[in-house]
Every structure is written in C-alpha cells, then in structure tokens.
Structure 1
C-alpha cells in the first residue's frame, strides 16, 4: 500500500489523490523495485531485485527485446529510451516513479477521454477510467500507441468524431514495443504539467 503522503507529495497535480490510489492499485505494484517483463502476452520470469542496481540491470538486460514495466506505477521503461545505457535510477525511485507515471497516465486518460468526446457525465467517467487503465497496461487504445500520442491537453479542444471500437480481446491482447516509444519520460511529465488541465473524475466512486 502506497502511503497517502507520498502520493500527495509526488503525484502529478493533474490527477486527484483518490484517482492516483486507484490507478496504482489496479495497474501498479507495491514494490518500488518491481520489474515486470513480458514477451508478447507471456510474462517472463526474472529474479526479484533487492536493490536499485539489480533492478536497473534487469531493465537493461530486457529493454529492446521485451516489454518492461518498472516500479510503483509500472512505468513503461522503454518510453523515450533509445539505448539501455540511458536509463536513469529515477525509474526505481518511489517519488520519481510516481511523478513520471502519474504524469504519463494523465496524458493517457486525456487521450481516451478525447475519444469519448471529453464527457463530464458521472455515469460515463468510470468507463473512461477503465479504458485508460487498459490503455496503460497494453500501451494502445483504438489501435493508437498512447505513449507516443500527442497530448490532447496541448490542443484546442474540439469534438472528436466517434470511431468504431476495437474488440476488447484485441485491445487487451496487444502489448507495445516500448523501445520504439518516442516521447522521453521527462517530456511526458513536462507536457502533462504544461497542459494545465486537471482531470476531474469525481464521478468515479469508491475503490472497485
């Protein structure tokens, strides 16, 4: 369980603390050194890291060949990383991981919300949040790579044309090749902050 004080101190201000808690509970990990490696839909068994050096070594060994998620928010380690040597210890620092992860998830949520027409209906917001969680876990929403997508917070808000939904099986079964992701982790955080749009998910009730 992540401490509320840590969330309050480190989470991106675009997300309310209650939403950050739900995000971490559903898509994150309690261990800041947690490294999850997938090859396609298969989880690759790796030794449990006991310190930051071991965690970073695990990431370097798998980055570029497999999908690697790291830390409390299970941040996609390949975002913006062209070489394994460019990895920073921030990935396994609790506060830095929460800061980067929540900033990137806030962008993912805005991408999903834009597809829905930026709804404010309290009955719709839980579905938007659920789809944003799936997009975070898979890296895709409606066939688009959400980590590379342009942040709707930087655009003039317009009503998007509805697209035909992909099947849930297709959406949930595809994992991104994070080594090809473009926006740097630092840029993702900066872009989300620059957008200045606070996501109001007050329509979402208690924890699922």
Structure 2
C-alpha cells in the first residue's frame, strides 16, 4: 500500500487518494526499481535492478525496440523521451514516478470520460476506471495510442472516496471451476442413465 504522505505530496491533485491507491494496486509495483520489458507481446526476462543506476541502464538498453514499464506506476518509459539518452533517473524515483504516472492516468481518465460523454455521476466512474486501467495496460484506446494522445481536458466523473466498486464482473472474473464441476456432474448423470438403459434391454 502506498504511503499517504507520498500520495499527498506527489500524486496528481485531480485524483482522490483512494483512486491513486487503487490505480497503483491495479497496474503498478511496490518496488520503485521494478522494470518490465515486453516485445511482440512477450515478457522478456531481465536482471533485477538493485540501484537506480542499474535500473536506468536496463531501461536505456531496451527503450526503442521494446515496451518498457517502470517504477511504482509502471510508467511507459518510452513516452518520457524520444531517445534513450534523454531518459532521466526521475523514472525510478518514487515521487517523480508517481507524479508522472498519476498525471498520465488522469489524462487517460479524461479521454475515456469524453468517450462516455463526460458524465459527472459517481455511478459511472467504476466503468470509466476499469476502461482506463485496461487502456493503461494496453497503451491504446479506440485503436490509438493513449499515452501520446492530447489531453481533452474537461471534468472527470465524480470519484468515490473509497474503493471503486466494479459495475459487473467481466468474463475473466467469472468463476470457471463451478461451471466445469457442474458439467462433469451432467456427464456423470448421463452415463448412469445410459448404463441403466442398457441393463434394462439385456433383461
């Protein structure tokens, strides 16, 4: 869990602290030096950085030919600079990473909110939040780069003070095991019926 003082000092002021916490919990890492590198949709194994210098070296080696996510918010490193040499150690500094990440997420929330017609009701926010988290993970919204897109401005839907309650479970959230077990019960029942019928015909 993020420190409340860190959120107050560093997070984008347009996001409520509870939303910042849930955003980082959904997409980020507790390790400010955490780095993930993906190429062609596949996660590439990299050595774990133990210092900021090591982290920056790994980032610079991979930016430009892979998707590199960094720090507490798993901020997309390639967005911060056009060339690897322009990348700054701010990427792995907790406060700066949280500031950049939450500012970018707030922009994505505004992009998604605009798509929904800029509703201001708190009831709509969970769906907007879910879509924004998905956009953060994929980097795209409606087929376009969300990180490179212009900030449309405008109001955000009213944010709840507590944890965002999901509107409805997605397909991925649906329990699979109960359906499988009920299916096996149906098959078992079918086999028992078939065997009893075969027995009746023989008699």
Which of 151, 157, 160 is equivalent to 1:202?
160
Task: Tell me, in whole angstroms, the C-alpha distance in 2 between the residues paired with 1:199 and 1:118.
Answer: 7
The residue number in structure 2 matching 1:193 is: none
Q: Structure 1 pair 203/18, CA: closer, same or farther in 2 (3 Å)? A: closer
Deviation at 1:205, TM superposition (A): 4.1
Q: Structure 1 pair 27/81, CA: closer, same or farther in 2 (3 Å)? A: same
* Residues 82-97 of structure 1 aligned to structure 2 (within 5 Å): 82-97=82-97
1:75 corresponds to 2:71: no
Contact persistence 1:14–1:199 (CA under 8 A): no
Q: Which has the higher contact order (CA 8 A, sep 6+)?
A: 1
Aligned-partner SS, 1:69: strand
RMSD: 1.8
Deviation at 1:198, TM superposition (A): 6.3
Q: Structure 2: state its 5+ residue gaps.
A: 167-203
The residue number in structure 1 matching 2:62 is: 62
Task: Tell me, in whole angstroms, the C-alpha distance in 1 between the residues paired with 2:161 and 2:99.
Answer: 24
Aligned-partner SS, 2:55: helix
Deviation at 1:15, TM superposition (A): 0.6
Aligned-partner SS, 1:36: strand
* Residues 94-173 of structure 1 aligned to structure 2 (within 5 Å): 94-153=94-153
Contact persistence 1:125–1:204 (CA under 8 A): no
Residues 31-57 of structure 1 show CA distances to partners (whole Å, capped at 9, x for unaligned) of: 000011011221111111000000000
Deviation at 1:148, TM superposition (A): 1.2
The residue number in structure 1 matching 2:21 is: 21
Task: Tell me, in whole angstroms, the C-alpha distance in 1 between the residues paired with 2:28 and 2:161.
Answer: 22
Q: Structure 1 pair 111/204, CA: closer, same or farther in 2 (3 Å)? A: farther
In the superposition, the TM-score normalised over structure 1's length comes to 0.75
Deviation at 1:82, TM superposition (A): 1.6
Q: Structure 1: state its 5+ residue gaps.
A: 158-196
Contact persistence 1:90–1:97 (CA under 8 A): yes
In the superposition, the TM-score normalised over structure 2's length comes to 0.77
Compare CA radii of gyration and give the structure with the larger one: 2
The size of the alignment, in residue pairs, is 166
Contact persistence 1:37–1:46 (CA under 8 A): yes
Contact persistence 1:34–1:48 (CA under 8 A): yes
The residue number in structure 1 matching 2:36 is: 36
Residues 149-194 of structure 1 show CA distances to partners (whole Å, capped at 9, x for unaligned) of: 11111xxx6xxxxxxxxxxxxxxxxxxxxxxxxxxxxxxxxxxxxx
Q: Structure 1 pair 207/126, CA: closer, same or farther in 2 (3 Å)? A: closer
Q: Structure 1 pair 104/129, CA: closer, same or farther in 2 (3 Å)? A: same
Contact persistence 2:37–2:45 (CA under 8 A): yes
